[in-house]
Amino acid sequence: MNYQRKRSAFGRHRRTGAWQSICGGLLRLLGRRQARPYPATSLYSAEHQRLPNRRFSLAGLRMPCMLLGLALLGGWTLHQLCHWNIFRVTELRLEGAHTLSEGQVLGLGGLEQGLNLVTLNTRRIERQIATHPWVAGVQVKRQWPSGVLVELHEYVPFALLNQVHPGGGSQLSYIDYDGHVIAEVPEGGGLDYPVINGAGPDDIADGRLVTGGAAERALQILHLAARGNALLPLQSVSEVYIGTKKDFTLYLAEHPFPIHFGRDHLEHKFNELLHVLKQLYDSGDIGRTTVLEMGYGDDVNKMLCRSAQSK
């Protein structure tokens, strides 16, 4: 009798371990973890429970080890490339420079032969070169295996701006076609440009002419001259003077008489001026003219022409 009870107890334990293995397998197939595992009733079932956790731990370490190996390999490769002489800079090229010299540009960027092309920080070099006031844009390109190309875009001067300071004195600067104030004219700098004279501090903001300001409207007169009409080309304009009432007076390089434009209807008055100049040239009276007033008596369609004979 005792033998039969022991045999029956052993059978129950074996069935319990079998059911535990089946349930655990189903849960693993469903991707779920047992909240509380059944107590192990045999050595086989306990080892069977521990094996999945062991396999899971090894699989979790596989990816970090691969990433660590790739990082070490990449670092070693970069270290080797940095010491290869084939990637040492031997050629430096500059394109688009007209005002700045090659030495100025390369010096601003810290570019010189012998630098490593792999570790060259092109963005930092571009920021350094762009600090120069004449630089409108710059792009630094690698030319593998050992060259560097600097593509430069400079501001192009269109006119001179003579800004009068409230406390006295003035400052002469270059401006481009769009009204960007480029830089102050250095000693010995080029002066072969028309001048906008009489600009005040309120005419400039953030390094450019204020839209709708007196200096910006004077620039519009120069834009009209830049259209290329043979009677009044841009190179024939000497100065656009801004008066105290924000009115404009145009002076030509070849003829000393003033041409008063007033304040408004600038394009209309400029077109009328072209007709008047043609008549004066054709009649030969241009040399005797002493003043032209466009829009005389606040009438945009009237013009006053005075000459030396009328005195």
Question: What pLDDT does residue 130 have?
Answer: 97
Per-residue model confidence (pLDDT) at position 28: 59
Q: Are residues 53 and 191 in the same domain?
A: no
8 Å CB contact between 204 and 210: yes
Is residue 164 located within the same domain as residue 141?
A: no
Run of H or E including 143: strand 135-143
Please state whether the peptide bond connecting residue 145 to the residue before it is cis, i.e. omega within 30 degrees of 0: yes
Taking a C-beta distance cutoff of 8 angstroms, is the pair 158, 192 a contact?
no
- Beta strand residue intervals within 17-66, DSSP E: none
Residue 232 has pLDDT above 50, yes or no: yes
Q: Are 196 and 171 in contact (CB under 8 A)?
A: no
* Domains in the chain, number: 3
Alpha-carbon torsion angle 91, 97, 101, 105, nearest 10: -60
Checking if the pLDDT of 296 tops 70, the result is no
CATH number, domain containing residue 97: 3.10.20.310
Of residues 122 and 79, more confidence is placed in 122
Same domain, 31 and 55: yes
CB neighbours of residue 177 within 10 Å: 14
Select from 23, 57, 81 the last residue of a domain.
81
How, if at all, do strands 303-307 and 237-242 pair? unpaired
C-alpha span between 258 and 196 (Å, rounded): 14
Q: What is residue 120's predicted lDDT score, i.e. its pLDDT? A: 92
CB environment 146-170: b (16+ within 10 A), e (fewer): bebebebebbebbbbbbbbeeeeee
Q: Judge if 73 and 109 occupy the same domain.
A: no
> Of the candidates 35, 63, 81, which is a domain's last residue?
81
User: Are residue 224 and residue 304 in the same domain, yes or no?
Assistant: yes
- Tell me which of 168 and 21 has the higher pLDDT: 168
Q: How confident is the model at residue 7 (pLDDT cuts 50, 70, 90)?
A: very low
Q: Same structural domain for residues 143 and 6?
A: no
Give the range of the structural domain holding residue 107, as residue numbers without chain letter: 87-154
Q: Can you tell me the distance from the alpha carbon of 284 to that of 307, in angstroms, rounded to the nearest whole number?
A: 12
- Paired with 130 in beta bridges are none
Q: What is the pLDDT of residue 98?
A: 94
State mean pLDDT over 294-308: 71
* 37 preceded by a cis bond (ω within 30 of 0): no
Tens digits of residue pLDDT in 30-53 = 454 444 554 545 544 555 555 555
Q: Do 213 and 76 fall within a single domain?
A: no
Assessment of whether the complete model's pTM goes beyond 0.85: no
